[in-house]
Structure 1
Amino acid sequence: MDKEIILKPSFSVRSSMKGTYYILYKPLNIVILSFLLASAIFGLSDYFFNILGSTNKTNRDFPFFGLVIILLPFFIYLLTYKAVKKQINNNPRIKEDIKYIFNIEYFQEKGETFEVKHFWKNIIKIVEKKDMFLFYIGKNSAMLLQKTDLKDNQYNELKQLFNSIDIKKSLKS
């Protein structure tokens, strides 16, 4: 495949948040957070049942740990949202007219004041999610391409290109 595929990416806080969660918060972390949340809810429900059925007023210490566990996912989401929003709003490159260029040798980001080539041999892996592609350029660092940015037959052309490249990939059939 000698042809180049040129795309105009769009950037939004919502898509960047999804990409961040795909990269940073692996399914194992979600299982651990779910377990902690379930144990916190169980602990709080036990506390409230003890208050309702107990005549002993000394057994009413509020389980602070349970409350912290319930609020922890909210704070993680809030901090991640603020960091991603700040990163998008303060990045001067995003305000430029950016194009992604794909060919058999590399993936290129080209803007008005910059040009970065990511050679396929340096890309760790390509992961396809429901609404985006993630190009891992580091263990916890990835470029994302939303599928909504693809026009006409570009999705099939990209899949064909990715399948022709010798790189670790997780693509949907």
Structure 2
Amino acid sequence: MEKERETLQAWKERVGQELDRVVAFWLEHSHDQEHGGFFTCLGRDGQVYDDLKYVWLQGRQVWMYCHLYRRLERFRRPELLDAARAGDPSLLPASQPPGGEFLLHSARVAPPAKKCAFVLTRDGRPVKVQRTIFSECFYTMAMNELWRVTGEARYQVRRRTAALRVSMPSPVLGSAVP
């Protein structure tokens, strides 16, 4: 029994170290200081090899930063919450929204569509919309976690609106999104 406990403790430490390493990598390399949001196509060296921004990955990164901030004491640092908003907002031009704000302002496709884009240009213009609901799910998860850690009602409103729209018929797609 003691051997199993030691093995579990060793794995817990290893996974914790890996999480610290991965979070540090994304904090250092993924933030788009010019346009907000996150680069998601990075090489092992941190170099960006594609500057398209996939909405579901934008949402996942915002969610993960917020979730770590909320759930694990060692990640309850202001810089991680700032990272959920794509780093220090003072580094961005006033016209460019930071991370969660980039997602909030860029992910939704203009009406009458009720969808989120699947992929955006670096500066937040929609490139492709898909019938799947991956983008909407991660957008909803990100807005929910932002609301939970900041208490800002606008994130809760956006989460609720996006969640309700996922199953509503779309005039653009012609049917309800499954």
Q: Hey, which of these two has a bigger chunk of helix by percent? A: 2
Q: Hey, which of these two has a bigger chunk of strand by percent? A: 1
Q: TM-score, normalised by structure 2?
A: 0.30
Q: TM-score, normalised by structure 1?
A: 0.31
Greater Cα radius of gyration, structure 1 or 2:
1
